[in-house]
Amino acid sequence: MIRQAEVRDAKEIQSIAEITWKHTYKRLYSMDIIENFLQKAYEIERLKKSIQICSERNDCGFIVAEDVGQCVGFAQAVPYLDGLELSRIYILPDSQRKGLGQLLVNKIIDIAKAAHKPHLYVYVEKENEDARAFYEREGFHTIDEIEDSALGVKSTLVKCQKQVS
């Protein structure tokens, strides 16, 4: 089931982020870099504020995927250019490849359409082949590549776009 995230979900979202980041990015970044990023980006009060803001606006979304009453994934989209940026989408490793990612993306597309946003954007690590393949299957197309050093190391991000309306 996909539903709007609630402030009470923040701790579970934080846990999902930690597990999936360590699983997904361990071959791309050192554990120190990953843990430093997680401390900042998924600080509990910051998460609660993001969830609250998205619950009050129609041009962003913070949603969770549940399986048997437990949060197993989440996605967040925020206003960006003429659309929304899918800024976060993570699913626990044991819950991946079960269609939850597609359900999360489809719900974000519904939010974009309701807000009259014609495009959905996502940035993905060039070396994250699984994520790139997922976005291609979901109809995203590469429109740019940029060099990034936000985590303190150089990496290449692929900017992808999907027409939603």
- Of the candidate ranges 6-15, 61-70, 90-99, 144-153, the one whose mean pLDDT is the lowest: 144-153
Domain architecture of the chain: domains with CATH: 2-163 (3.40.630.30)
162 — phi, psi (to 5°)? -135, 130
**CA pair distance 80, 109, nearest whole angstrom:** 14
Query: Apex CA 120: angle with CA 4 and CA 37, to 5°?
Result: 70
* Nearest partner of 72 among 51, 99, 92, judged by Cα: 92
Would you say residue 152 has pLDDT above 90?
no
pTM of the entire predicted model:
0.95
Residue 165's pLDDT is: 85
How far apart CA 25 and CA 84 sit, in angstroms, is 24
